[in-house]
Structure 1
Amino acid sequence: MDTPIDPSVNMRGPKQSILKTLQQSSSSVGDRGESSLVENYTFNQDAARMEFTKMIALHEYPLAMVDHIGFRRFCNVVQPLYKVISRNTLKLDILKFYESERVKTMKLIQTNSSRIAITMDMWTASNQNKGYMTITAHFIDNNWNLQSQLMRFMYVPTPHTAEVLVEIIIEHFFEWNLNRKVSTITVDNCNTNDVMIPKILITLTF
């Protein structure tokens, strides 16, 4: 049975990986000499569009920024060739970027030889009266670096029973092929979790 998910908050994947990619892109700015950049510069609309998408995601700017008159004037002065995209196009670009990072993270986990430690947290937003859950994977990669990847951030519909949570978590484990790689599962001291964990363990292969 499919579990209804709030599309405004459903994030299945690698936020840390996305932020790392964005930060690496930012740190490379200014590494090359300004004179060589000017001499060899050729405007690339696709590259500019991708960097704009990364900027929106990195700084959590509103998508409506593309409609701001001041922003459009600024772009026209800095680079008249740059075509400001629409809000809907920007949304699609962000989702494509997210999906590419999610695929990279899935590949990293699936090709890694170590087991995966899972931590889960759930809370209710007081201003919305809605429940949310995060699932994070922790592991040592093949280069002996500690990795922590936020794999899923999602809205959980009521009631928050053990059966509902088990269905969501197991679906996630199989989606990411984690059913044979989980080493530990850490949750908070909630009575529902006491019922949930044994049900999850039945489906896992150690």
Structure 2
Amino acid sequence: MSKKETTRHTNNFTEWIVCTAEPIGTVDEPHFVKMINGLNPSYKVPCRQTIRKLILDGYKMKKMQIIEELAAVTSRFSLTTDMWQASARKQSYLAITLQWIDNEWKLRNVILDFRYMPKNHSGENMKNVVMETLQEFKVAHRIFGVTTDGALNMVKFFELLVMEMGVEKPNTFWNCCAAHIVNKVAEVAIKKEVVTVDKIRACVIYMRRPTIREIFLATIKPATEDLKLPLDVSTRWNSFLHMVESAYPRRHELYDYLSAQEGAIRDEVPSAEEWIDMEDLIELLKPLKAVSALWICELAKDMLVKLDECLRLSWEKPGVRMQVPMIARLLDPSIKDAYLPSAKSRTAAGTMLKHIV
């Protein structure tokens, strides 16, 4: 095998390790090495030290490419950041994403960093991490808007970030994610029925056991093999509604079966009255699910298309460069009063907005 072919195979192998999140130690696994040798006896699987070096070199090269690409962008950037937790190890990570519109009027985005956050998740700590990342990519002075959830530490993070960047708030504005707001409304509704919610969740967990599920299916008449009881996930929007909607049609069978079981599960079975309360909750959550889906998918895409058309037609007209950020701010009711203080500014933005929507 030529050196060129060996390099190509090794690069492909390294890309596979990275893109599939395989552990680097895979290269030392005997059965894996045997499989590769069987496919191509002349290719020698590189050691983990070599793969590690190639991954780090590839990261550095890609990072430099991104820095050069961002430097060539003529517009300013929007920043999105959110905190995530790996439930298995309770480890927290801060995702930092940059968005912008390129010279071809295409919406672009790139994940700048996915940073481990072992410290307290205070606004100060998040500001330090984000600012360090923005400085590494040389875009700290070009941030136009910041989108986060509505948590108090995120609000504090934005205030500290603006102070660190040394800009006035009207020149860098904060948006609270609309889908997060809708999700918070749903959480308030769910908390009012927390006892019944906990009961349904306990029943679903119990019924998801393979042996229990098999026995339960045998008791259902007419017979069915379809028993989908998804468990809700706190970080997954609308998952609670999905869980309750799936359990509701089987509420009578679940009551008969679980009430006859031994142990604590008998006390977790929702009563008929509690299921009636769930009917009301389901009807309340349905439109919230529809709104969040509409906002995330269809509405956002439609607004981008219409905004793109408006900008293409009006970009050369005087004053439009100032009206565009005013429109963006007007669309967010939580900040329009702060950033459009005068009646004249609101009228100008409102007039422009009519041409879009």
| TM-score class normalised by the smaller sequence | 0.7 to 0.9
User: Against the structure 1 CA distance between its residues 60 and 123, is the aligned structure 2 distance closer, same or farther, given a 3 Å change threshold?
Assistant: closer
For structure 2, list consecutive stretches of 5 or more residues without a partner in the other structure: 172-357
TM-score normalised to structure 1 length: 0.73
Aligned Cα root-mean-square deviation (Å): 2.0
Q: Kindly report which structure 2 residues correspond to 1:107-122, keeping only aligned pairs within 5 A, or say none.
A: 107-122=68-83
In structure 2, the residue matched to 1:46 is: 7
Letter of the 1:134 counterpart? A
Aligned pair count? 166
Residue in 1 that maps onto 2:158: 197
Return the alpha-carbon distance in structure 1 between the equivalents of residues 146 and 107 of structure 2. 17
Q: Does residue 146 of structure 2 align to residue 170 of structure 1?
A: no
Cα distance in 2 between the residues matched to 1:76 and 1:169: 45
- Give the whole-Å Cα distance in 2 for the aligned partners of 1:55 and 1:186: 33
Structure having the higher helix fraction is 2
Q: 1:75 aligns with which of 23, 27, 36?
A: 36
Seen in structure 2, the aligned counterparts of structure 1 residues 80 and 126 have a Cα distance that, compared at 3 Å, is closer
User: Could you say if the C-alpha distance between residues 80 and 144 of structure 1 is closer, same or farther in structure 2, counting changes exceeding 3 Å?
Assistant: same
Structure 2 matches for 1:53-68, cutoff 5 A?
Answer: 53-68=14-29
Q: Is the strand fraction higher in 1 or 2? A: 1
Percent identity between the aligned chains?
Answer: 25
The question of whether the paired residues in 1 share the 8 Å contact of 2:84 and 2:95 is answered with: no
Find the aligned partners of 1:179 and 1:64 in 2 and give their Cα distance: 37
Contact 2:14 2:54 in 1 (8 A): yes
Unaligned runs of 5+ in 1: 1-40
1:143 is aligned to 2:104: yes
Q: CA offset at residue 167 of structure 1?
A: 1.5
Using structure 2 for the length normalisation, give the TM-score: 0.43
User: Shift in Å at residue 114 of structure 1?
Assistant: 1.2
Counterpart-to-counterpart distance in 2, 1:112 and 1:183: 13
Higher gyration radius (CA): 2
**Given the superposition, is the C-alpha separation of residues 65 and 125 from structure 1 closer, same or farther in structure 2, using an over 3 Å criterion?**
closer
Contact 2:123/2:156 (8 A) holds in 1: yes
